[in-house]
């Protein structure tokens, strides 16, 4: 399987995040992608290539021009204040406030974010831009006839909406790739999000559309981030009604319950008759992940890949979460190897 990877991800390294009442080093760190890349090479999964640059046009198909302009220019504006720490929001347009776009940097940062988990550093824009190009390059390989490809993206993307960053995410790599498939002639794309956290950004982007089916298996948002989206009764709206399926599970869920939800999601994808499957590949469902309450073990990821392969569709894997650094490479590559074994 072809892997697309950019070393630009090292340009983004947030100093800290607020977790459980403490400022601590960010769980989303460069070593995540490094461990996955190392495992790809150890297992000789296939060639590893750098991304092509498709420019901003395919990114603008998903993200608003105003949001992109803000994100690209935010760090320079921050340094004009003589600051060199991470740029983080501290005020958001909550329910009792007006949804106006202020002129100040911090006002706009609050407007364009939904949490304090997406620090902007000197290299964040370039890292996120390159991650989108990684996804687009892997997408292009499948569009040209490859059976599968792996976009080793960092930072991840599935929490990012069209004009909103958060949850370690800035540009929605999976959504950008899905839209590129449609723009290049595919009629139906199914997104399968297997990350421990609900892909709220991806859901919101396609919620009123029928050309993208969104399915997500995650811990129940009553008790887990992102809290305010990912419930089972969210089925889409307008033209998108009936094309959104969430499978929220209880804390402590292991492979038995998780795989049953995967079976339901795959049934919906098969009924939808998608031309392409895009997998938001988060492996933070692992039993020892520091910010997960699921109990999947490494062999389970081989089974996950085999079930996805049985869908029989060209499949793009886009890296999302996974924070138990030593195991993230094993588990991510297990999904890919399980898929490869099943299609041979």
Q: One of 159, 198, 218, 220 is an active-site residue; which one?
A: 159
User: Does the active-site annotation cover 158?
Assistant: no
User: Are 157 and 172 within 8 A, CB to CB?
Assistant: yes
Angle at 149 between CA 274 and CA 320, to 5 degrees: 85
Rounded CA-CA distance 150/148 in Å is: 7
* Token pair belonging to 72: 């690209």
Give how far Cα 168 sits from Cα of 88, 141, 187, 254, 262, Å.
12, 27, 30, 25, 25
**Alpha-carbon dihedral 287, 219, 318, 279, rounded to 10 degrees:** 110
Rounded CA-CA distance 35/304 in Å is: 20
Crossing angle of helices 325-343/298-309, nearest 10°?
A: 30
User: Are 283 and 331 within 8 A, CB to CB?
Assistant: yes
- Return the SS3 of 212: strand
Please count the residues of the chain. Answer: 344
How buried is 264 (Cβ within 10 angstroms: 0-12 exposed, 13-18 middle, 19+ buried)?
A: middle
User: Are 278 and 113 within 8 A, CB to CB?
Assistant: no
Return the active site residues.
159
């Amino acid at each position: 399987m072809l892997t697309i990877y950019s070393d630009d991800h090292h340009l983004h390294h947030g100093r800290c995040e607020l977790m459980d009442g403490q400022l601590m080093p960010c769980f989303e760190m460069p070593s995540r992608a490094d461990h996955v890349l190392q495992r790809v090479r150890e297992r000789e999964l296939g060639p590893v290539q750098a991304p092509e640059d498709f420019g901003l046009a395919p990114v603008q198909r998903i993200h608003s021009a105003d949001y992109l302009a803000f994100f690209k220019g935010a760090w320079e504006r921050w340094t004009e204040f003589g600051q060199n720490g991470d740029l983080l929001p501290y005020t958001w347009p909550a329910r009792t406030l007006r949804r106006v776009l202020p002129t100040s940097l911090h006002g706009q940062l609050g407007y364009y974010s939904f949490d304090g988990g997406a620090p902007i550093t000197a290299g964040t824009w370039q890292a996120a831009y390159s991650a989108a190009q990684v996804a687009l390059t892997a997408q292009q390989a499948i569009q040209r006839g490859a059976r599968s490809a792996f976009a080793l993206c960092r930072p991840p993307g599935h929490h990012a909406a069209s004009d909103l960053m958060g949850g370690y995410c800035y540009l929605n790599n999976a959504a950008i790739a899905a839209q590129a498939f449609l723009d290049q002639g595919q009629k139906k794309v199914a997104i399968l999000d297997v990350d421990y956290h609900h892909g709220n950004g991806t859901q919101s982007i396609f919620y009123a559309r029928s050309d993208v089916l969104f399915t997500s298996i995650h811990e129940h948002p009553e008790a887990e981030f992102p809290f305010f989206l990912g419930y089972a009764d969210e089925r889409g709206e307008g033209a998108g009604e009936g094309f959104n399926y969430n499978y929220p599970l209880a804390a402590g869920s292991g492979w038995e319950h998780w795989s049953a939800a995967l079976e339901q999601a795959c049934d919906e994808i098969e009924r939808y008759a998608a031309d392409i499957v895009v997998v938001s590949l988060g492996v933070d469902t692992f039993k020892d992940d520091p910010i997960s309450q699921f109990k999947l073990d490494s062999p389970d990821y081989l089974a996950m890949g085999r079930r996805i392969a049985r869908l029989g569709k060209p499949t793009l894997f886009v890296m999302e979460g996974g924070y138990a650094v030593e195991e993230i490479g094993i588990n991510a590559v297990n999904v890919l190897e399980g898929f490869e074994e099943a299609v041979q």
